[in-house]
Amino acid sequence: MDPWRVHKFGGSSVADASCFERVASIVEGDRGSRVAVVLSACKGVTDALLALVAGAELQDAEIEGRLQALERRHAELAAALLAGADVRDYANEVHADCRHIRGILEVVRLTRASSPALRDLVAGFGELWSGRLFVRYLGRRGRRAGRIEWLDARDVIQAEQGALGPHVRWQESRDNLGRAAHTATPVTLVIPGFVARGPDQVQTTLGRNGSDFSASIFGHLLEAAEIHIWTDVDGVLSADPRLVPDATVIDALSYHEAMELAYFGARVIHPQTMAPAIVKGIPIRIRNTFAPDGPGTLICDRPASNHQVKGITTIDRIALINLEGAGMIGVPGTAQRLFSALREHGISVILISQGSSEHSICFAVPLPEAAHAERVVRDAFRDELVHGQIQSVDVAPDCAILAVVGDGMAGTPGVAARVFGALGQAGVNVRAIAQGASERNISLVVDTKQAARALRSVHSSFYLSPHTVSIGLIGPGAVGSQFIDQLASQRERLMRDCSLDLRLRGITTSTRMLLGDPAMSAADWRPALDRGDSADLSTFVEHIHADHLPHAIIVDCTASAEVACRYPGWLAAGIHVVTPNKRAGSADLTFQAALRAAAREGGSHYLYEATVGAGLPVMQTIRDLRRTGDDIRRIEGILSGTLSYLFNVWDGRQPFSAVLRDASGKGYTEPDPRDDLSGVDVGRKLVILGREIGLALSLEDVEIDPLVPDGLTACTAGEFLDRVGELDPLMDARLRSASANGCILRYVGVLDAATGRATVGLVELDRMHPFANVTLTDNVVRFITSRYDRNPLVVQGPGAGPVVTAGGVFADVLRVCAYVGAKL
């Protein structure tokens, strides 16, 4: 005969009609001939029932409406899932139960008081309703072989409420099962979770989340081969997914690990749940109802798993009480007195820590018990406090416990170092520490307001590559979208070869933004962005700079001064900035100083290679020269791809205006070509270069010879293109003069380090000059330095265009990654 298999479905798995359908298919998918199905109440129903009791105590007039809503919700489920007389019978049963509940509520309302027994009585109806619905539905589908039987858990489980919660009377329960359960196979038992009967035969419950316990009890009683706990996540995760979006599914856990995790707040399993299963060595699988094919998490006696740390959890609402005084040193029995006093008053202590100096003992209790605990301690040590042997009893109320759990921690040095290292880097202050001798658990007390940060930083130190980088792109224009493509093309390789996890988690324009987690797809971001939220830079940056990820980079591919003026704030917060935007680099000197100071403060990097010469290695060359002790005396260059193109192509055989119109038509110029012709763009680049070599240069200091005559500066871009012919006589004159001298014309920026002079303008150059032999949009930069003296160092190549500019930006992004430790 097949062994029994128990399937338990949580409230989220039976939230609505389509959920019941899913659950039925899962049950039908089990080909075994002996299956027990334990069901929770439909999602939210237990809470709603308990709220009715609380409402009745307060004489809330709304409770009748809310009770009717619950009845209606179940009637509607029945209408959707059942047919014929079943619908009516089921609705009648629920209706009768509601009448019963109404009676109880009336008593509570009149006496303005309820009791735990009464609350248990009301709370248990949810499971009866979901169970009775499901047994009919499964029967009606007719896809499971054999009998489908309703087994009322109240007729089986005898439970007693004790100080440590409900405990099972095994002998009675076993006898009950023998009487109540059908043994003929094949059979499917449908069992309501959570409910049981007390010794007085009154309905009671197994405590919140008690359906897990029910499953384990039935597993034990039926000697099941496996228990499957079906929920709404893929298994036990390395941390609460609502707090740590990057939590990953743990493949396997030992019973002990699972107990610790559950105790420390991993709601997916209930700590007591496992005890009955452990006794019989029954493996428990946590699986996802909404993705039933996944492997889930296996909880068993001796699991095979590669992780040392299985999970990290937090418990909130803790108070830390510290007892301090020289009088405790070497005095035996202080701890015993302290903890017996607490025990006598029924206060549960969650964590204890005593330094070996015995000068202080601290312990953590649930926050609601803090005031009581303080009174008890003061009382117990009244004399010592009066006589000064104990100086103080302090209560720190807003604390949380962070627990790091894993069997593999035992005997593995370095786990604690990693935990504390991560907390230190995240600036989290640890108030108390406890590690059990089993080394299965390190618990720390931190301030509540730092708890999420603490959890995330410790989690990322164990579960993420230390080089997980969150990237936000501002301005997905020509360069920005090219950057996205390049990033996507290299993502997998970088992950594979360098363990570098580059995650593009946000894209924003000035109007719309798209936020993603863990990373967005490079393929279809464009339509998603069009449908995205309205842009808000603060929200955007907050998302990119997620606490749970070790590093964040903002890539600004706009030309916007408004965006640039936010850099100092970002840098100070520890966010790296990479940009081809010249605005920040050429803004006034005070801003420049603020930018540097912010980067120092935040320990962040600001890189801007693509501001000059697009992807050409210009800034990097300057840095290398300076760092190795070379002295840069002069920089000369053709620094505008547009102007380079115009003077490379124009040879005087056609009017200059024709070449300009053609270039504009091909998209080689700014939409308003005057932005190029004014020389300001080149001026900005000179400022950036000048500052890089240590000059205090501002845009006003640059002597610019603009190519736009005064008469054409004020009109619109359209008018300018119409009237651009007015430029021709001026340009012709300059070209004639140059030709007469055997020269050609080039638009050149020059920076002289000795005098600090910066000039930008059209110059006549010998036909043999290196700047004469450039093609298309080439940029050329010549460095005259003490090492490269007679024969300057020249960097030359395409200095404009989305592909090369994005390449320069990407290189900077990778440079930041290397700075934070990635092995590239």
Among 9, 10, 384, 470, the residue binding Mg ion under the rule CB under 5 A is 10
Residue 281 structure tokens: 């060595």
H, E, C per residue of 414-447 = CHHHHHHHHHHHCCCCEEEEEECCCCCEEEEEEE
The residues near 483 (Cβ < 8 Å, ≥ 6 apart) are 473, 555, 557, 806, 809, 810
What residues between 27 and 56 interact with ligand ADP by CB under 6 A? 40
- The candidate with the shortest Cα–Cα distance to 73, out of 56, 98, 52, is 98
Residue 372 near ligand ASP by CB under 6 A: no
Residue 209 near Mg ion by CB under 5 A: yes
Question: Least Å distance between CB 154 and ligand ASP?
Answer: 14
Among 120, 127, 240, 257, the residue binding ligand ADP under the rule CB under 6 A is 240
Among 114, 158, 209, 238, the residue binding ligand ASP under the rule CB under 6 A is 209
Gap between the Cα atoms of 814 and 501, Å rounded: 11
624 burial type by CB count under 10 A (0-12 exposed, 13-18 middle, 19+ buried):
exposed
Among 173, 176, 211, 621, the residue binding ligand ASP under the rule CB under 6 A is 211
DSSP 219-235: HHHHT-SEEEEEESSSS
240 binds, among ligand ASP, Mg ion, ligand ADP, none (CB under 5 to 8 A by kind): ligand ADP
Identify any residues that bridge with 781 across adjacent strands, giving them in sequence order. 637, 795
Query: Is the Cβ of residue 240 or residue 369 nearer to ligand ADP in the bound state?
Result: 240
The b-or-e profile of 290-299 (16+ CB within 10 A means b, else e) is eeeeeebbbb
Question: Least Å distance between CB 361 and ligand ASP?
Answer: 35
Q: Do residues 800 and 614 touch, judged by C-beta distance below 8 A?
A: yes
- The candidate with the shortest Cα–Cα distance to 339, out of 303, 375, 363, is 363
Q: Is 121 helix (H, G, I), strand (E, B) or coil?
A: helix
Question: Least Å distance between CB 10 and ligand ADP?
Answer: 2
Residue 139 near ligand ADP by CB under 6 A: no
Query: Is the Cβ of residue 10 or residue 126 nearer to Mg ion in the bound state?
Result: 10
271 binds, among ligand ADP, Mg ion, ligand ASP, none (CB under 5 to 8 A by kind): none
Residue 125 near ligand ASP by CB under 6 A: no
Gap between the Cα atoms of 153 and 173, Å rounded: 10
Question: Least Å distance between CB 343 and ligand ADP?
Answer: 30
Residue 641 near ligand ASP by CB under 6 A: no
241 binds, among ligand ADP, Mg ion, ligand ASP, none (CB under 5 to 8 A by kind): ligand ADP
Say how many Å lie between the first and final Cα of the chain, rounded: 59
Q: Which stretch binds ligand ADP (CB under 6 A): 226-234, 274-282, 527-535, 805-813?
A: 226-234
Gap between the Cα atoms of 307 and 326, Å rounded: 43
What residues between 9 and 68 interact with ligand ASP by CB under 6 A? 10-11, 40-41, 46
Backbone phi, psi, residue 507, to 5° = -135, 135
Residue 219 near ligand ASP by CB under 6 A: no
Strand order in the sheet with 187-192: 147-150, 187-192, 34-39, 5-9, 226-231, 284-288, 297-300, 252-254
Return contacts of 201-205, CB within 8 angstroms, 24+ apart.
202/117, 202/121, 203/120, 203/121, 203/124, 203/154, 204/117, 204/120, 204/121, 204/124, 204/159, 204/161, 204/166, 205/120, 205/123, 205/124, 205/166
Query: Is the Cβ of residue 26 or residue 364 nearer to Mg ion in the bound state?
Result: 26
Among 27, 266, 415, 571, the residue binding ligand ADP under the rule CB under 6 A is 266
- The candidate with the shortest Cα–Cα distance to 807, out of 414, 573, 489, 590, is 489
Query: Is the Cβ of residue 47 or residue 316 nearer to ligand ASP in the bound state?
Result: 47
Gap between the Cα atoms of 581 and 586, Å rounded: 10
Question: Least Å distance between CB 160 and ligand ASP?
Answer: 18
237 binds, among ligand ADP, ligand ASP, Mg ion, none (CB under 5 to 8 A by kind): ligand ADP
Residue 544 structure tokens: 């990119």
Query: Is the Cβ of residue 49 or residue 81 nearer to ligand ASP in the bound state?
Result: 49
Residue 273 near Mg ion by CB under 5 A: no
Q: Which stretch binds Mg ion (CB under 5 A): 8-16, 441-449, 535-543, 565-573?
A: 8-16
Residue 575 structure tokens: 């966010």
What residues between 1 and 30 interact with ligand ADP by CB under 6 A? 10-13
Query: Is the Cβ of residue 269 or residue 612 nearer to ligand ASP in the bound state?
Result: 269
Gap between the Cα atoms of 648 and 680, Å rounded: 20
Question: Least Å distance between CB 41 and ligand ASP?
Answer: 4
Q: Is 680 helix (H, G, I), strand (E, B) or coil?
A: helix
Residue 484 structure tokens: 């996205």
Q: Which stretch binds ligand ADP (CB under 6 A): 73-81, 230-238, 470-478, 633-641?
A: 230-238
Strand order in the sheet with 576-578: 533-534, 512-515, 501-508, 468-474, 551-556, 576-578, 606-607
Binding mask 312-351 for ligand ASP (x = CB under 6 A): ----------------------------------------
Which residue of the set 43, 449, 685, 823 is catalytic?
685
Gap between the Cα atoms of 768 and 649, Å rounded: 17
Query: Is the Cβ of residue 212 or residue 609 nearer to Mg ion in the bound state?
Result: 212
Among 105, 114, 121, 126, the residue binding ligand ASP under the rule CB under 6 A is 126
Residue 735 structure tokens: 């070209």
Gap between the Cα atoms of 192 and 154, Å rounded: 9
Q: Is 617 helix (H, G, I), strand (E, B) or coil?
A: coil
666 binds, among ligand ADP, Mg ion, ligand ASP, none (CB under 5 to 8 A by kind): none
8 belongs to the catalytic site: no
Residue 192 near ligand ASP by CB under 6 A: no
Question: Least Å distance between CB 147 and ligand ASP?
Answer: 26
210 binds, among ligand ADP, ligand ASP, Mg ion, none (CB under 5 to 8 A by kind): ligand ASP
Gap between the Cα atoms of 173 and 120, Å rounded: 19
Residue 203 near ligand ASP by CB under 6 A: no
Q: Do residues 4 and 225 touch, judged by C-beta distance below 8 A?
A: yes
Q: Which stretch binds ligand ADP (CB under 6 A): 171-179, 235-243, 450-458, 545-553?
A: 235-243
Among 157, 222, 237, 695, the residue binding ligand ADP under the rule CB under 6 A is 237
669 binds, among ligand ASP, ligand ADP, Mg ion, none (CB under 5 to 8 A by kind): none
Gap between the Cα atoms of 573 and 555, Å rounded: 15
Instruction: Supply the DSSP symbol for 2.
Output: P
Binding mask 267-286 for ligand ADP (x = CB under 6 A): xx------------------
Question: Least Å distance between CB 416 and ligand ASP?
Answer: 35
Among 124, 126, 311, 799, the residue binding ligand ADP under the rule CB under 6 A is 311
Query: Is the Cβ of residue 38 or residue 659 nearer to Mg ion in the bound state?
Result: 38
Question: Least Å distance between CB 58 and ligand ASP?
Answer: 22
672 burial type by CB count under 10 A (0-12 exposed, 13-18 middle, 19+ buried):
middle
Given the rule CB under 6 A, which residues bind ligand ADP?
10-13, 40, 209, 231-233, 236-237, 239-242, 266-268, 311
Given the rule CB under 5 A, which residues bind Mg ion?
10, 209
Given the rule CB under 6 A, which residues bind ligand ASP?
10-11, 40-41, 46, 126, 193-194, 208-212
Active site residue ranges: 685
